[in-house]
Amino acid sequence: MAAADVTRLLAHEMAAALRAGETTARELATAHLDLAERQNHALNAWLVIDREAALLQADAADATLTSARRAGTVALHALHPLHGIPVGLKDLISVEGGQCTAGSRILEGYRAPYDAHIVERLREAGAVFLGKTNMDEFAMGSSNEFSAYGPVSNPWDLDTVPGGSSGGSAAAVAAHHVPLSLGTDTGGSIRQPAALCGIVGMKPTYGRVSRYGIVAFASSLDQIGPFARDVRDAAALLHAIAGRDARDSTSAPIPVEAELLDLPADDDEAAAWLRGRRFGLPREYFVAGMDPDVERRIRESVAFLENAGATVDEVSLPHTDYGLATYYITAPAEASANLARYDGIRYGHSVRLDGADFIADYLATRGEGFGAEVKRRIMLGTYALSAGYYDAFYVKAQKVRTLIKRDFDEAFAAGFDALVAPTSPSVAFPFGSKTADPVSMYLSDACTLPVNMAGLPGISIPCGLSEGLPVGLQLIGPAWSELMLFRAARAFEALTAGAAWRGLEPAGIADADAASGPTPGERAARLAAGAALAPGAAR
């Protein structure tokens, strides 16, 4: 199999080729490493590409494959579907001996002393780690413009953002650098970049995947989940990482369904699952200012579901309008507590001022090490938790959070299998277009963050294009319904298998091959300069 071809295979196609002896894990890793190294100048999706470690892992996977072939068909097929498959890791996931910056200067130089639980699980499955992907600092952002190591470009249009905070992981999958990657979702940071990059992204139920070894942002909201270019691959990755971990007290003892590895390959069989299913369409998710083309794609998708035998009824989630305010009290409050540990003493960046006392060193370390968005959220959270404001803000936010969850509970109790909604109110937007207005940026997550507030699973799948850029359809289910959501997403994928947009590659990939072209940071600066010269001018 030609090396140039393997990067275009889906993960389950790579797995079949490995078992058939048509390729090797080393060939897969080398082809993906070559592509990632060639295009990272233009995309900045990767903070580390570790060729040496990846090839060692690939060789070990090949050795296991060789042994399994000698042992027979049963041994060969007993290997996990991710055996020998390249995977990208967001750079807040601990890998023993490797960097873990969380996109921040304050963790520059830090080396993780242990593996995260999900890394242990992926090692057991035989996956091959190509490196660490770029991200908004401490997962705080909706555009991947807040990384201390520069922004990430969207492979569909290099002048636009990939979404955030897991933008590097999403862009790497969309650009074929890896078939699979992992991100974290605190308020939409998997689903929103999946939508903007035209791929699949799943936020599991809170507690489905252990957070041990993950740099924390907001501990009651964070959850790890998969990116992939198709639903079956995303399900296989979740199967590998989910499950109880005694080191994380929030990790639930819920069995991991083997059926995650058995989603139907046949499109007719997959689509047949929809017959008789009932979906709710929340009216509050069609927010003010939504791109009209995005709304059209969502309503077209609803029509596809109905034509396949599903029923779609409008439903109200009345406390949705309070979700944004509730989130931006709860998440910054938790972040201000979690980020207090970065003091310049135990690990990471440290500033020592001549003749200064400990407090001056501490303030200088945090002032120099944290970026503007992180400082903004620490200040918001500290204020919300301060004496005199705790009851007025944080306690009230927790009460509203309960009401948001109750809205979902009542919808599912009314007989809806799942809810269907937009993932993002807009397609990918140009660099700099929202950074000067934090509230506008925060509104990018208006359709995703209620799911985190309620601790529920949600998945974003591609549903078409608007002006050449991807639109995402979001499916939301009750707690522990990941298998059902994957079946629903696979059914929609089957219904749209013949759509013209399904066969399109991201338009910016060809430009990304130009090694001498501008970096995302240079593109952002150029766009900012253009905006300064001509405010309000069309892009």
| CATH placement of domain 3-265+276-321+402-512 | 3.90.1300.10
Catalytic residue IDs? 90, 165, 189
The first and second tokens of residue 528, run together, are 């900012």
Mean pLDDT, the chain, as a whole number? 94
CA distance 93 to 404: 30
DSSP per residue over 117-133, as a string? HHHHHHHHHT-EEEEEE
99-117: pLDDT as tens digits: 999 999 999 999 999 999 9
Residues shown for the chain: 539
Residue 171 binned pLDDT confidence (cut-offs 50, 70, 90)? very high
Q: What is the pLDDT of residue 2?
A: 56
Whether 482 contacts 209, CB under 8 Å = no
pLDDT at 537 over 50: no
Enumerate the H helices of 149-291 as residue ranges.
Answer: 167-174, 191-197, 231-241, 267-272
Q: What is the mean pLDDT of residues 257-280?
A: 98
CA distances from 417 to 279, 312, 390, 400, 481 (A): 6, 10, 37, 24, 9
Residue 408: what pLDDT? 98
- What mean pLDDT do residues 240-254 have? 97
H helical segments located in 98-228: 117-125, 167-174, 191-197
- Per-residue pLDDT, 164: 94
CA distances in angstroms from 295 to 192, 288, 464, listed in the order given: 15, 11, 11
pLDDT in the model for residue 535 = 40
Q: What is the pLDDT of residue 15?
A: 98
- The phi, psi pair for 249, rounded to 5°, reads -65, -15
Report the side by side order of strands in the sheet with 86-90.
46-49, 128-133, 86-90, 180-184, 224-228, 200-203, 458-466, 469-476, 418-422, 278-282, 311-315
* Residue range 281-289: mean pLDDT, rounded: 91
Q: Domain map of the chain by residue range?
A: 3-265+276-321+402-512, 322-399
Cα separation, 435 vs 129, whole angstroms: 32
pLDDT band for 302, please (50, 70, 90 cuts): very high
Please provide the distance, in angstroms rounded to a whole number, between the alpha carbons at the two ends of the chain.
42
Q: What is the pLDDT of residue 3?
A: 53
Confidence bin at 532 (pLDDT 50/70/90): low
Q: Measure Cα distances from 76 to 27, 59, 81, 87 in Å.
A: 19, 16, 10, 21
Q: Is the pLDDT of residue 323 over 80?
A: yes
DSSP string, 439-451: HHHHGGGTTTHHH
pTM score of the predicted model = 0.96
12 sits in the region (left: phi over 0; alpha: psi -120 to 50; else beta) called alpha
The number of C-alpha atoms within 13 Å of 117 and in the hemisphere containing its C-beta is: 22
pLDDT digits (tens, 9 = 90+) for 447-500: 999 999 999 999 999 999 999 999 999 999 999 999 999 999 999 999 999 999
User: For position 289, what pLDDT does the model report?
Assistant: 82
User: Going by C-beta distance under 8 Å and a sequence separation of 6 or more, which residues neighbour residue 494?
Assistant: 264, 267, 268, 270, 271
Percent of the chain past pLDDT 90, that is, above it, reads 89
Position 357 scores a pLDDT of: 84
